[in-house]
Amino acid sequence: MARKTAPFAPFEFMIAWRYLRARRAEGGVSVMTWISLIGITLGVAALIITLAVRSGFRAEFVDTILGANAHVTLYSAPTEVVEGSGVYTRIMRDFEARSERISQIPGVTDAAPLVKGQVMVSFGDQSNVGEVFGISKSDLEEIPRIAHPEESLGSLDGFGPGIAVGSGLARELGINVGDKIRMISPNGAKTAFGTSPRVNAYEVGYIFTAGRYDIDRTRIYMPFAEAQSYFNREGGADEIDITVTDPENVDNWTPQLLEAGGKGSMLWSWRDSSGSFLRALDIEDNVMFVILSVLVLIAAMNITSGLIMLVKNKGRDIGILRTMGLTEGAIMRVFFLCGAFTGILGTLAGLIVGVVFSLNIDHIMGFVNYLNGGSVWDASIRGIYELPAKLELGDVLKAVGLSLGLSFIVTIFPARRAARLNPVEALRYE
């Protein structure tokens, strides 16, 4: 009578490991084992790398948004300039009082009145379009990606006497700190003959690199009082840019901001402007995870093929082991361990490859750029200048857990088949 042994006894591990090291006559089993191992390694590595890149891209994208833009912008609803005139304006005349009330809300770190306008910028024979932000120096110092950019020329001390310009715009115009650029606004001085364009020259005192292509290529910061005069906003502001301590939950401040802003106030948060893109990223993340999970499943299915071949080759051994007293459970565990060993080794190898690749993504992209003779990462399309990668523990655990789970599941069928093999039939022709 077969004597039951403790599950996963040492001899079961010994037999399973012996079967994995197939002899030359059983080379087919060995080949299938290596194919399974390599497939799982590549699948897990691809899954970890993809999740790391997607996490890094989202984190960098959000950081550039929050680091160079307002978390919430407060506008004023259109109001009549003179009652019954039919002429409406959004200019806020009481912006100082509104900013003061907003600044007193707990969790609000800054409330900056702003004047905005679009201009044509020229220097020498070069010209481009720029988006001007009129802001005070103290408020500009509260914008992380502008006050503490990745790269800069000059310093914020040059803001006031001069203006601040994005590095992309400066590069396209060929300007440097100390150069004077001309700015042309179509909404200039109002005369009896109509509105004439306003042309002013300003010295560049500071050049910044915020890390976003669209910001660096178009944005110009001008002192608030000068912007009021230049854009005919004397005594008024276009909006109030607000930053909060927890921008991820910016909607929590909506009731208080509307109350402090007063009648006719309207809000536009960073989630309103970028929410659809972030939702698209989330959907893409889920789709990529499903696709790569299928690849891991296909690689894991090779374990089933290898085990079926192994069971067929070891039919005589199974019969002998059963006659020696091994139970069906012991036989099943032996072949389960054969598949589990392959899954575990492949997962560990994939984990190492994926983590190393993700941590060295900059060097790898540099090498790819070198092979292609130019940039393979177009900042004008993707918004940021480089391919980021951010390893998240949760993403790594998902990839590892998925691989191990699939590897263990696909071994059950061939292992049960081996356990149910009749020892009499296995030894009949031996």
The widest CA-to-CA distance across the chain, in whole angstroms, is: 114
Nearest CA among 296, 309, 149 for reference residue 219 = 149
Could you tell me if 26 and 333 are in contact, meaning their C-beta atoms sit under 8 angstroms apart? no
In terms of Cβ atoms closer than 10 Å to its own Cβ (0-12, 13-18, 19+), residue 370 is exposed
Residue type, 249: N
Alpha-carbon distance of 44 to 398, in angstroms, equals 10
Q: How far apart are CA 222 and CA 240, in angstroms?
A: 16
Q: What angle do CA 201, 204, 209 make, to 5 degrees?
A: 135
DSSP reduced 3-state for 321:
helix
Consecutive 10-residue averages of pLDDT for the chain (430 residues): 60 72 54 81 90 85 83 85 66 90 92 92 90 92 87 88 91 92 80 71 92 87 92 89 90 90 88 81 83 84 79 70 71 80 90 91 74 61 68 89 89 79 59
Helix (H) or strand (E) holding 47: helix 27-68
Q: Sign (positive/negative) of CA torsion 52, 56, 57, 58?
A: positive
* SS3 label, residue 144: helix
| pLDDT value for 224 | 93
- Strand-strand pairing, 126-135 and 219-223: parallel
Residues 334, 10: Cα–Cα separation, whole Å? 10
CA–centroid distance for 44 within its chain: 19
The set of residues, in sequence order, having a beta carbon less than 8 Å from that of 103 and lying 6+ positions away, is: 110, 111
The confidence score (pLDDT) of residue 416 equals: 80
How far does CA 403 lie from the centroid of its chain? Answer: 23
Instruction: At 299, list the tokens.
Output: 């690689």
For residues 107, 109, 112, 117, the Cα torsion angle rounded to the nearest 10 degrees is: -90
**Predicted TM-score (pTM) above 0.85:** no
3-state secondary structure 378-419: CHHHHCECCCCCCCCHHHHHHHHHHHHHHHHHHCHHHHHHHH
Supply the pLDDT for residue 1.
45
Contact present, 116 and 134 (Cβ < 8 Å)? yes
Rounded (5°) CA angle 110-111-115? 130
pLDDT at residue 25 in the model: 46
Residue of 173, 160, 274 whose CA lies nearest to 218 = 173
pLDDT confidence of residue 355: 92
DSSP 114-129: EEEEEEEEEETTEEEE
Task: Tell me, rounded to whole angstroms, the distance of Cα 307 from its chain centroid.
Answer: 40
**Number of helices and strands (H, E) in the chain?**
17, 14
Asked whether the beta carbons of 386 and 282 are under 8 A apart, the reply is no
In this prediction, residue 30 carries a pLDDT of 66
CA–CA dist 346, 93 (Å, integer):
67
| CA pair distance 70, 268, nearest whole angstrom | 9
The Cβ-side half-sphere exposure at 306, using a 13 Å CA radius, reads 32
